[in-house]
């Protein structure tokens, strides 16, 4: 079973952090409206995928994961007018991410992966990791947006996210709600809706192979565990 960071003593944590092929994994989610689904759906997805991928790696004796508590709150200003959504302000969220990652580094971990299930976190998380990487030589930092492993476009409470929910075995019905537009090229931002809404990205009838997703995520974590920490990557 993957190791839970929060259940370790200081001594046990120090011993683990000093070993080879050990990764600190931080699941990133959000608290935001998902039509008729749970507000914490992104957090549920990030946590479950982290556990499944780490369990697979450990069963093969390849990598030991130390999974931190999920960061349930994220950056979701686009849904902030819908009741239930809790969006952390941009600079506050960046400072939170930086504090957590820096704390993990101070604890001795040299390889850290953020497994993200919320599109709104992407830009902030990448900027924070770039900044931290510039200050720490020999530390491997990775942002893994799970949908990118399948070359998919992440929607919101739409067909792709519904397929993920089904594949993970969650007994969740996202129900019906208003669809809002998404203009990607150029990126056009308009008013945020006031009611629960979904973004479909034009996809319909999406099916998802959970085995392929978990294997791809395990492969990404394996890469984090084995990449040369003194190399260069931007």
Question: Above pLDDT 70, what percent of the chain?
Answer: 99
Distance CA(228)–CA(10), nearest Å, equals 27
Is 197 inside any structural domain?
Answer: yes
Domain that holds residue 92: 3-226
Residue 126's CB is within 10 A of a number of other CB atoms, namely 15
Is 219 inside any structural domain?
Answer: yes
Is 147 inside any structural domain?
Answer: yes
Distance CA(186)–CA(182), nearest Å, equals 10
- Looking at the structure of the chain, the number of domains it has is 1
Q: Torsions phi, psi of 161, nearest 5?
A: -65, -35
Distance CA(193)–CA(212), nearest Å, equals 35
Helix (H) or strand (E) holding 197: strand 197-198
Is 53 inside any structural domain?
Answer: yes
> Cα dist. 93→5, 77, 97, 103, 214 in Å?
21, 12, 6, 15, 28
pLDDT, tens digit, 9 for 90 and up, residues 4-35: 999 999 999 999 999 989 999 999 999 999 99
Is residue 116 classed as helix, strand or coil in its secondary structure? strand
Is 234 inside any structural domain?
Answer: no
Distance CA(180)–CA(119), nearest Å, equals 16
Is 232 inside any structural domain?
Answer: no
| pLDDT band for position 189 (cuts 50, 70, 90) | confident
CA dihedral 130, 131, 135, 139 (to 10 degrees): -40
Mean pLDDT is lowest, of 95-109, 122-136, 171-185, for: 171-185
Inter-residue contact 29 to 44 (CB < 8 Å)? yes
Is 93 inside any structural domain?
Answer: yes
Q: Residue 144: give its domain's CATH number.
A: 3.40.50.10310
Is 180 inside any structural domain?
Answer: yes
Q: Across the chain, what does the average pLDDT equal?
A: 95
> Cα dist. 29→76, 191, 229 in Å?
10, 23, 27
Distance CA(216)–CA(233), nearest Å, equals 20
Distance CA(30)–CA(96), nearest Å, equals 14
| pLDDT band for position 38 (cuts 50, 70, 90) | very high
């Amino acid at each position: 079973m993957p190791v839970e960071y929060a259940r370790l003593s200081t001594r046990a944590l120090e011993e683990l952090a000093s070993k080879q092929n050990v990764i600190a994994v931080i699941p990133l989610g959000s608290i935001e409206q998902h039509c008729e689904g749970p507000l914490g759906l992104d957090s549920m997805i990030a946590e479950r995928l982290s556990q499944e991928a780490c369990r697979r790696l450990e069963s093969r004796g390849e990598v030991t994961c130390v999974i931190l508590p999920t960061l349930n709150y994220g950056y979701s200003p686009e849904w902030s007018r819908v009741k239930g959504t809790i969006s952390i302000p941009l600079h506050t969220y960046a400072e939170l991410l930086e504090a957590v990652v820096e704390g993990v580094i101070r604890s001795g971990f040299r390889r850290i992966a953020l497994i993200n299930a919320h599109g709104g976190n992407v830009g902030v998380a990448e900027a924070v990791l770039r900044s931290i990487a510039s200050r720490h030589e020999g530390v491997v930092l990775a942002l893994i947006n799970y949908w990118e492993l399948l070359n998919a476009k992440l929607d919101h409470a739409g067909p792709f996210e519904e397929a993920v929910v089904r594949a993970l075995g969650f007994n969740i019905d996202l129900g019906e709600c208003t669809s809002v537009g998404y203009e990607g090229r150029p990126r056009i931002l308009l008013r945020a809706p006031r009611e629960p809404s979904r973004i479909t990205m034009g996809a319909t009838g999406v099916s998802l192979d959970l085995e392929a997703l978990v294997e791809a995520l395990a492969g990404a974590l394996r890469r984090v565990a084995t990449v040369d920490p003194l190399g260069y990557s931007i």
